[in-house]
Amino acid sequence: MEYLPSMGCLIPRVSFQPLKLVQLYTNIELIYIIIYLFLIRYYIYIKIRLIIEHRLSYIKQIWSYINWTIIIFSWIGVGFHFMRQAELKRLGKLFKFSHGYYPINLQFVSYLNNLLTDQLGFCCFFTTIKLLHLLRFNRRFTLLWLTL
């Protein structure tokens, strides 16, 4: 039920949010995750080196802010992923302890899943902008860049 103070009424609302309670990783998925984490660390190393070399001129570039936004959103995503995994592990223990006889509140897991999805969307958005910036020398991509 959702209460709208401006209207003074309750509105019933149902929402279904699918999520996987058991995350099974294959070996190749774990390798991809490890490679992604190393690439983020390497990207941070490169950006810190650029800050040391260029100092004030680095801060004046708008693309440096987009780069750091990508880095920050990547690490936030890693944090949300680990928080979701810890909550899923806690819920699994609770379900095993209760033998499935008591209801389990999945609201926090659903909230973490929504946060992770939104964060990945922002990260993909800024990465797409950076990719279009890198491809600006191609004539067709320049036309796409100008339309955005």
User: Parallel, antiparallel, or unpaired for β 2-4 and 9-11?
Assistant: antiparallel
**Global pTM value:** 0.75
Cα separation, 135 vs 72, whole angstroms: 23
The confidence band for 67, taking pLDDT boundaries of 50, 70 and 90, is very high
- 35 falls within a domain: no
Range of the domain at 73: 60-147
- 39 falls within a domain: no
- Contact, 122 vs 71, CB < 8 A? no
* Tally of domains within the chain: 1
* Residue where the block lists tokens 């996987």: 20
Structure tokens at 67: 């780069």
- 119 falls within a domain: yes
- 93 falls within a domain: yes
Q: How many CB atoms are closer than 10 A to CB 67?
A: 19
pLDDT, tens digit, 9 for 90 and up, residues 97-107: 988 888 888 88
Q: Above 90 in pLDDT, residue 49? A: yes
- 66 falls within a domain: yes
